[in-house]
Amino acid sequence: MEYPGLELENFDKAHIWRKYIFFLIKKYLKDDFLEVGAGIGSFTKNYLNEFQNITLTELDNNNINHLKKNFANNKNIKILNSLTKNIDDKFNTILYLNVLEHIQDDVSEINDAMEKLNDGGHLIILVPAGSKLYGKFDKAIGHCRRYEVDFFKNIKFKSAEIIDLYSLDFFGYLLYLVNQVLFKEEVYPSKFKIFIWDKIFTPITILIDYLLRYKFGKNIICILKKKALNFHDESGK
């Protein structure tokens, strides 16, 4: 499988943004976790030295080569070319960071991930928000959709519950709109624009997101916790 996007290396420089995401999800991370669709390892670098037994999956051969090169000497990391449903192991945490929007049947993927979680484990999902923002950039990098908070609220999870639901990147939302109006022909944001967004606007948006209590933004983080099924749950009584 080949990833269609050309933006991963540019966004690899968005250090403040990734640290912000890591700050929001860190308390849910535990040893023995899986990052699905790890790309070139941009997010992986943030937690690499803090947790043990990390498994990365990726379906694009070029990205796999990047991962193997970036983490060649790290015995703490296992890299797999595999779909989530085909992995034999179970994990305490599973991450989908900017991945679910690329998957056609996203609900089935969430259910497959739940099957690979230990009881009490967390599924952490980061997705682009705002259906009305869907445009050339999304199409170019293989996004099937952008999300609304109600998508997660309306899913009936048999063995999981939502314990946190954030909307974030207030300024990013506004900048995305401006970029669509002023640069209609541009598909990928330039390295310079990513630099400005990350170094100038992200620190501001971190404060605004907090003041808005994470109610509006260009991205959504959903944290799901797997519940232990008792005998009555399994028997349907």
Report yes or no on 2 lying in a domain.
no
Report yes or no on 35 lying in a domain.
yes
Of 60-69, 172-181, 193-202, the range with the lowest mean pLDDT is: 172-181
Report yes or no on 3 lying in a domain.
no
Report yes or no on 111 lying in a domain.
yes
Q: Is 16 helix (H, G, I), strand (E, B) or coil?
A: helix
Q: Average model confidence (pLDDT) for the chain?
A: 90
Average pLDDT, stretch 51-55?
95
Q: Cβ-count burial of 79 within 10 angstroms (0-12 exposed, 13-18 middle, 19+ buried)?
A: buried
Average pLDDT, stretch 1-8?
69
Residue 150: domain span: 8-227
Predicted confidence at residue 235, as pLDDT, reads: 47
In angstroms, the CA 105 to CA 89 distance is 22
Q: Is 125 helix (H, G, I), strand (E, B) or coil?
A: strand
Whether pLDDT at 6 is above 90? no
User: How many C-beta atoms surround the C-beta of residue 49 within 10 A?
Assistant: 8
pTM: 0.92
> Can you list the alpha helix ranges (DSSP code H) found in the chain?
8-11, 15-25, 44-47, 61-70, 106-115, 136-140, 149-154, 170-182, 191-196, 202-211, 231-235
CATH of the domain at 191: 3.40.50.150
Average pLDDT, stretch 136-162?
91
Q: How many domains does the chain have?
A: 1
Whether pLDDT at 48 is above 90? no
Average pLDDT, stretch 83-108?
96
**Joined tokens for residue 199:** 């170094």
pLDDT tens digits, 63-85 = 999 999 999 889 899 999 999 99
Of the chain, the percentage scoring pLDDT greater than 90 comes to 74
Predicted confidence at residue 7, as pLDDT, reads: 74
Residues ≥6 apart with Cβ < 8 Å to 111: none
Average pLDDT, stretch 32-38?
97
Whether pLDDT at 1 is above 90? no
Whether pLDDT at 231 is above 50? no
Predicted confidence at residue 5, as pLDDT, reads: 61
Report yes or no on 94 lying in a domain.
yes
